[in-house]
Amino acid sequence: MARFRDDPIGVFYQELEECTRHSKFYDPPRPFVLASRLLDWLRERPEVDESSARATIILETVYGGREPWAGAWNHFDERMAKGHNQCWLKLLVILLQMDSDGSFAKHLDAFYQAEMWDSRLSDLHRRSQELFGIIMRTGFYGGDDCDQAVSWFLHLATQLSTQRAMTMQHKRHLEPHILLPITEKDGINSGGQSNVFRIEVPHECISSDLVNHLKRLQRQAIPDPDYDGKSLYYEFALKKIDKEEDWVREIEFHRALRASQTEGIVQCLGSWEVQTGTKTEYYLLMEFGWSDLNQYFRSIPPPSIAQHIYDFWRSLSSVIPALSHIHNLAISSNHSSTVVRYYV
């Protein structure tokens, strides 16, 4: 990789490529960016003896060394240090991609003047008319090109909006500008009213509350062999349900099961609905297990070492009371009961 000062924008594009993944939740797969990793990279200084962050050096390059206003470089560094929403860093990432040589990024100050620096990208999707006005005033685009530029801007913004999707919230309506960052999606079983998939999600795209919960469940992030040694992912089971009433009923079931502090059954970690054209799809995000009990007993030899025997019966002893809870659990729902298949 070239020395950063020699070609800041070129090195930025290399890092952007390193941070780009493709979500296989969609057909065809859609690209997204590991935003937290890329923003951390922009905040860092490229060399030990360097006084400026990479983002500031990039701005010095696109502005030709001219500060857009007096003290701007110090202002940028202060913003990075104080931990604001950092939307301006995401704006920088977007604007660098709006033109092949990154020259459109010199209009970042136009977004500062419009008080968009501390917004969230989701807010920018609701301010398309303001975006149109800013882009038009730059003189870089005009007429129909400006409409296309706004669309391209929002498309790039969507690629940076992945972390908010994987949370422990329930019954979320997933907005169109939030991508589901699912890099692998393999069917586990199908039939009846649902389909279940094993999915992989990059560590960077999971909210902190969900990561902390996974740690409590002793779920470990797994190194991704397809990328550098720094890349980690978590495995989940993703359950797709066809009917809203079944989806709501199962959410309430899992809530009641969790309230009873039942162990031995995989947990439902979150749920959302996704609008695809005129159709709404319903999903549950669950712990992943590689087999059910039937498959486990068929494929795994009985334990023979004392510690393994003890561990086996201790684990199985948590499943037995869980089965009792499943058959006797009362849920706060007006719907009739449903048959649910679990993976342990």
Q: What is the pLDDT of residue 151?
A: 92
Q: Which helix (H) or strand (E) holds 281?
A: strand 279-286
- Tens-place pLDDT, residues 229-280: 678 999 999 999 989 998 988 888 888 777 666 666 788 899 999 987 788 9
The CATH 3.30.200.20 domain(s) of the chain lie at: 172-328
Give mean pLDDT, residues 206-210: 89
**Residue 36 clears pLDDT 60, i.e. is over it:** yes
CB 126 within 8 A of CB 106: no
Contacts of 182 by beta carbon, 8 Å cutoff, 6+ apart: 23, 24, 25, 199, 200, 201, 238
What mean pLDDT is reported for the chain?
83
CB 255 within 8 A of CB 225: no
Q: For the chain, how far is it from start to end, CA to CA, in angstroms?
A: 45
Annotation: CATH topology of 172-328:
Phosphorylase Kinase; domain 1 (3.30.200)
**Residue 339 clears pLDDT 50, i.e. is over it:** no
Question: How far is C-alpha 18 from the chain's CA centre?
Answer: 16
Q: Cis omega (within 30 of 0) on the bond before 46?
A: no
Q: What is the pLDDT of residue 291?
A: 65
Q: What is the pLDDT of residue 56?
A: 87
Other CB atoms closer than 10 Å to residue 317's CB: what's the count? 12
CB 73 within 8 A of CB 53: no
**Cα 326-331-336 angle, rounded to 5 deg:** 90
Q: What is the pLDDT of residue 50?
A: 81
Give mean pLDDT, residues 16-29: 94
d(C-alpha 195, C-alpha 178), whole Å: 22
Q: What is the pLDDT of residue 237?
A: 93
Q: What is the pLDDT of residue 18?
A: 93
Give mean pLDDT, residues 108-124: 80
Give mean pLDDT, residues 54-79: 83
Give mean pLDDT, residues 322-339: 56
d(C-alpha 128, C-alpha 145), whole Å: 15
- Tens-place pLDDT, residues 275-316: 877 889 999 999 987 666 777 778 888 888 998 888 888 777
**Residue 12 clears pLDDT 80, i.e. is over it:** yes
Q: What is the pLDDT of residue 120?
A: 75
Contacts of 277 by beta carbon, 8 Å cutoff, 6+ apart: none
Closest among 75, 101, 77, 104 to 92, alpha carbons compared: 104
Question: How far is C-alpha 271 from the chain's CA centre?
Answer: 14
d(C-alpha 121, C-alpha 105), whole Å: 17
Q: Please report which confidence band the pLDDT of residue 342 belongs to, taking 50, 70 and 90 as the band edges.
A: very low
- Tens-place pLDDT, residues 142-161: 778 999 999 999 999 999 98
